[in-house]
Structure 1
Amino acid sequence: MKCITLALAATLVSVTAALAHSKAEDTTPADGTTVETVAVIELRFDDPMRVTAIKVTGPDGDLDITRETGLNPVTAFRALPPDVIPAGAYTVDWRGLSADGHPMQGTFGFTVED
Structure 2
Amino acid sequence: MRQITLAAIVSGLTVTGVLAHSKAEKTTPADAASVDAVDVIAIEFDDLMRVTAVSMTGPEGLVGVERETGMEPVSEFRARPPDDLPAGTYTVDWRGLSADGHPMQGTFSFTLAD
Kindly provide the CA deviation profile for residues 46-75 of structure 1, in whole angstroms up to 9, marking residues without a partner as x: 010000000000000111110000000001
> Alignment partner of 1:42: what SS?
strand
Aligned equivalent of 2:50 = 50
Structure 2 matches for 1:9-48, cutoff 5 A? 12-19=11-18, 20-48=20-48
Cα distance in 1 between the residues matched to 2:58 and 2:90: 4
Q: Extract unaligned runs of 5+ from structure 2.
A: none
How many residue pairs get matched?
A: 112
> Alignment partner of 2:25: what SS?
strand
The ranges of structure 1 where at least 4 consecutive aligned residues each deviate by more than 4 angstroms after the TM superposition are: 5-11
Structure 2 matches for 1:62-81, cutoff 5 A? 62-81=62-81
> Alignment partner of 1:18: what SS?
helix
Kindly provide the CA deviation profile for residues 17-53 of structure 1, in whole angstroms up to 9, marking residues without a partner as x: 2333101111000000000000000000001000000
Q: Extract unaligned runs of 5+ from structure 1.
A: none
> What is the Cα deviation at residue 85 of structure 1?
1.3
Aligned equivalent of 2:109 = 109
Cα distance in 2 between the residues matched to 1:78 and 1:13: 35
Cα distance in 1 between the residues matched to 2:28 and 2:36: 13
Q: Percent identity?
A: 59
Normalised TM-score (structure 2): 0.88
Output the aligned Cα RMSD. Answer: 1.8
Normalised TM-score (structure 1): 0.88
> What is the Cα deviation at residue 88 of structure 1?
0.1
